[in-house]
């Protein structure tokens, strides 16, 4: 072991090889504190060449590698095991924006570039990089791509997968594939980059990417709408899309219980309605046109919805400060859940048209199986993704309930698949759902994935124990 540590230090520098258990701990624990590993070392390369040299060494010594970015994943995909034999390959030092091409609407960035910094670099070129999620101040673009991150703007711009034009990838044997092409059209065979997006570091190490940019919006219009049911929310979605087209950027569903948790754990929060309502939608339009035009379009669309009895109440933000306060209601839900206590969390997707039906059926099944459970339902209604989380009954035995987490998840996941859905919409599989997916994917689909893995990583050194 000493020999490989010395060789790693010779590649990246002694200061970039962390072996002390206390210093390595932040890299060996997942964000939810569900998994705790023990790496042989945390290795922090500063260039693609160093990554390639590290991978060649690991291939020669058959040393397992766990690629890692900002370590904000939710399924343990970037956490090493407890054997002390794996290295964590942390790419945070590779954080340069290599190029911005405003005419081509592309930005080329290294894998360790923090998402918020990437957004800022785009803004400085008067462009928009639309990927946006709660962890954007610390998550890194390599991890975003490896997990095919979603976020609040998928409705208009798509997942991380849809924002990638080209990749640079170091393969398990240390070869570097330079696919950094900023082309919208390249019909020359297999789209290799898409193998690595969403693969969670099991096929290779993404070291850089060419990403799409968009015209920077000049105006935003934000509203919080109260409704009587998820079915009404779906009707509102269709109405707003018909009235406002692709200016609709975000459409977030939140149950009354979600906002009650936010109000409980964030006492300074002021809900904008005098009375509570069963469901809420936070929606946002964005456009390169003037703010007055956008506000007028939203006001008109909401007035029509109100006149038809579709909405119970609505408030439109009159300033950026008010818009931020409305978004805080949505963004504070996950932390409010943490303060409330342990819950069984899910990240499911179903066809948009069936979300209301899914919620009604699954709510009823859970109440029959686990009477009194509290349902924390929120998410990206516009792209069919729900964070459908289950809290134990008020005053109930939290630990006893969590001991049945597998039974709870079985109800939620079985129901999603009955609706032609997925058990992981944007968080990936990691090690958390690696076994669970075997219940829902066909034997052929799993075999095809294993063949791809074997072709690219025949030694099985890339992030073992994740996804497959």
Is 7 contained in some domain?
A: yes
- Please name the residue that has the structure tokens 């729900």: 386
Q: Exposure pattern of 174-203 as b/e (b: 16+ CB <10 Å)?
A: bebeebbebeeeeeeeeeebebbbbbbbbb
> Are 70 and 110 members of one domain?
no
What is residue 291's predicted lDDT score, i.e. its pLDDT? Answer: 78
> Are 280 and 355 members of one domain?
no
Percent of the chain with pLDDT over 90: 94
Whether the CB-CB separation of 394 and 372 falls below 8 Å is answered with yes
- Span 332-347, mean pLDDT? 94
> Are 157 and 85 members of one domain?
no
Q: What is the CATH number of the domain that holds 105?
A: 3.30.465.10
Is 163 contained in some domain?
A: yes
pLDDT band for position 12 (cuts 50, 70, 90): very high
Using CA atoms, how far apart are residues 22 and 16, in angstroms rounded to an integer? 15
Q: Give 162-201 pLDDT, tens digit per residue.
A: 999 999 999 999 999 999 999 999 999 999 999 999 999 9
Is 466 contained in some domain?
A: no
> Are 310 and 372 members of one domain?
no
pLDDT band for position 99 (cuts 50, 70, 90): very high
Query: 10 Å Cβ neighbour count for 462?
Result: 26
* Residue 320 pLDDT > 80: yes
Domain final residue pick, 157, 187, 214: 214
> Are 117 and 210 members of one domain?
yes
Q: What is the CATH number of the domain that holds 77?
A: 3.30.43.10
pLDDT band for position 35 (cuts 50, 70, 90): very high
What is residue 94's predicted lDDT score, i.e. its pLDDT? Answer: 98
- Span 266-293, mean pLDDT? 91
Is 186 contained in some domain?
A: yes
What is residue 2's predicted lDDT score, i.e. its pLDDT? Answer: 76
> Are 327 and 232 members of one domain?
yes
Is 440 contained in some domain?
A: no
> Are 189 and 202 members of one domain?
yes
pLDDT band for position 363 (cuts 50, 70, 90): very high
Q: What is the CATH number of the domain that holds 285?
A: 3.30.70.2190
Q: Give 211-255 pLDDT, tens digit per residue.
A: 999 999 999 999 999 999 999 999 999 999 999 999 999 999 999
Percent of the chain with pLDDT over 70: 100
What is residue 7's predicted lDDT score, i.e. its pLDDT? Answer: 97
What is residue 430's predicted lDDT score, i.e. its pLDDT? Answer: 96
Using CA atoms, how far apart are residues 69 and 81, in angstroms rounded to an integer? 17
* Residue 128 pLDDT > 90: yes
What is residue 281's predicted lDDT score, i.e. its pLDDT? Answer: 98
Domain final residue pick, 57, 90, 123: 90
> Are 294 and 329 members of one domain?
yes
Is 459 contained in some domain?
A: no
> Are 199 and 246 members of one domain?
no
- Span 87-106, mean pLDDT? 98
> Are 119 and 208 members of one domain?
yes
pLDDT band for position 271 (cuts 50, 70, 90): confident
Q: What is the CATH number of the domain that holds 361?
A: 3.30.70.2740
* Residue 134 pLDDT > 90: no
Kindly list the distances between the CA atom of residue 114 and the CA atoms of 2, 95, 170, in Å, as whole numbers in the listed order. 33, 7, 20
Write out the residue range of the structural domain in which residue 292 sits. Answer: 219-334
Q: Which range is least confidently modeled, 223-227, 255-259, 269-273, 305-309?
A: 269-273
- Span 79-95, mean pLDDT? 97
Domain final residue pick, 286, 312, 334: 334
Three-state SS letters, the chain: CHHHHHHHHHHHCHHHEECCHHHHHHHCECCCCCCECCCCEEECCCCHHHHHHHHHHHHHHCCCEEEECCCCCCCCCCCCCCCCCCEEEECCCCCCEEEEECCCCEEEEECCCEHHHHHHHHHHCCEECCCCCCCCCCCEHHHHHHCCCCCCCHHHHCCHHHHEEEEEEECCCCCEEEECCCCCCCCCCCCCHHHHCCCCCCCCEEEEEEEECEECCCEEEEEEEEECCHHHHHHHHHHHHHHHHHHEEEEEEEEHHHHHHHHHHCCCCCCCCCCCCCEEEEEEEEECCCHHHHHHHHHHHHHHHHHCCCCCEEEECCCHHHHHHHHHHHHCHHHHHHHHCCCECCEEECCHHHHHHHHHHHHHHHHHHCCCCEEEEEEEHHHCEEEEEEECCCCCCHHHHHCCHHHHHHHHHHHHHHCCCECECCCCCCCCCCCHHHHCCCHHHHHHHHHHHHHHCCCCCECCCCCC
Is 451 contained in some domain?
A: no
Q: Give 377-398 pLDDT, tens digit per residue.
A: 999 999 999 999 999 999 999 9
> Are 269 and 176 members of one domain?
no
- Span 22-32, mean pLDDT? 94
- Span 23-43, mean pLDDT? 95
Is 293 contained in some domain?
A: yes
What is residue 290's predicted lDDT score, i.e. its pLDDT? Answer: 78
Q: Give 284-304 pLDDT, tens digit per residue.
A: 999 998 778 899 999 999 999
> Exposed, middle or buried by CB within 10 Å (0-12, 13-18, 19+), for 96?
middle
pLDDT band for position 270 (cuts 50, 70, 90): confident
Q: Give the count of domains, the chain.
A: 4
pLDDT band for position 129 (cuts 50, 70, 90): very high
> Are 420 and 378 members of one domain?
yes
Q: Give 310-319 pLDDT, tens digit per residue.
A: 999 999 999 9
């Amino acid at each position: 072991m000493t020999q490989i540590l010395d060789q790693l230090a010779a590649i990246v520098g002694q200061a970039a090889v962390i072996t002390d258990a206390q210093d390595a701990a932040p890299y060996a624990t997942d964000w939810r504190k569900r998994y705790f590993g023990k790496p042989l070392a945390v290795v922090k390369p500063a260039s693609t060449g160093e990554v390639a040299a590290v991978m060649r060494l690991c291939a020669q010594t058959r040393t397992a590698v766990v690629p890692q970015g900002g370590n904000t994943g939710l399924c343990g995909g970037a956490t090493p095991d407890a054997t002390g034999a794996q290295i964590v390959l942390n790419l945070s030092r590779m954080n340069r924006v290599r190029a911005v091409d405003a005419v081509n609407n592309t930005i080329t960035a290294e894998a360790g570039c923090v998402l918020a910094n990437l957004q800022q670099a785009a803004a400085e070129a008067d462009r928009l990089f639309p990927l946006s999620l709660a962890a954007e101040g610390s998550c890194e673009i390599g991890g975003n791509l490896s997990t095919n991150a979603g976020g609040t703007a998928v409705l208009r711009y798509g997942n991380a997968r849809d924002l990638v034009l080209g990749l640079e990838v170091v393969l398990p044997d240390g070869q570097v594939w330079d696919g950094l092409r900023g082309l919208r059209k390249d019909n020359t065979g297999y789209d290799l980059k898409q193998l690595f997006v969403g693969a969670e570091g099991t096929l290779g190490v993404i070291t850089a990417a060419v990403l799409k940019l968009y015209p920077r919006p000049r105006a935003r219009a934000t509203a919080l709408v109260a409704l009587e049911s998820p079915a009404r929310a779906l009707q509102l979605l269709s109405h707003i899309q018909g009235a406002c087209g692709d200016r609709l950027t975000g459409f977030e569903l939140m149950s009354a219980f979600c906002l009650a948790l936010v109000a409980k754990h964030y006492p300074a929060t002021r809900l904008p309605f005098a009375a509570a309502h069963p469901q809420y939608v936070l929606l946002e339009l964005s456009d390169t046109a003037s703010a007055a035009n956008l506000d007028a379009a939203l006001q008109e669309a909401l007035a029509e919805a109100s006149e038809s009895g579709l909405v119970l109440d609505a408030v439109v933000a009159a300033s950026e400060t008010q818009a931020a306060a409305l978004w805080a209601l949505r963004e504070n839900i996950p932390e409010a859940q943490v303060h409330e206590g342990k819950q069984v969390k899910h990240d499911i997707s179903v066809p948009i048209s069936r979300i209301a039906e899914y919620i009604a059926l699954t709510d009823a099944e859970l109440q029959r199986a686990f009477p009194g459970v509290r349902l924390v339902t929120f998410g990206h209604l516009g792209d069919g993704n729900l964070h459908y989380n289950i809290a134990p009954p008020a005053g109930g035995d939290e630990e006893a309930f969590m001991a049945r987490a597998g039974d709870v998840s079985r109800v939620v996941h079985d129901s999603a698949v009955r609706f032609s859905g997925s058990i992981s919409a944007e968080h990936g599989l990691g090690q958390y759902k690696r076994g669970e997916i075997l219940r829902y994917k066909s034997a052929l689909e799993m075999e095809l994935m294993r063949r791809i893995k074997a072709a690219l990583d025949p030694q099985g050194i890339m992030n073992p124990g994740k996804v497959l």
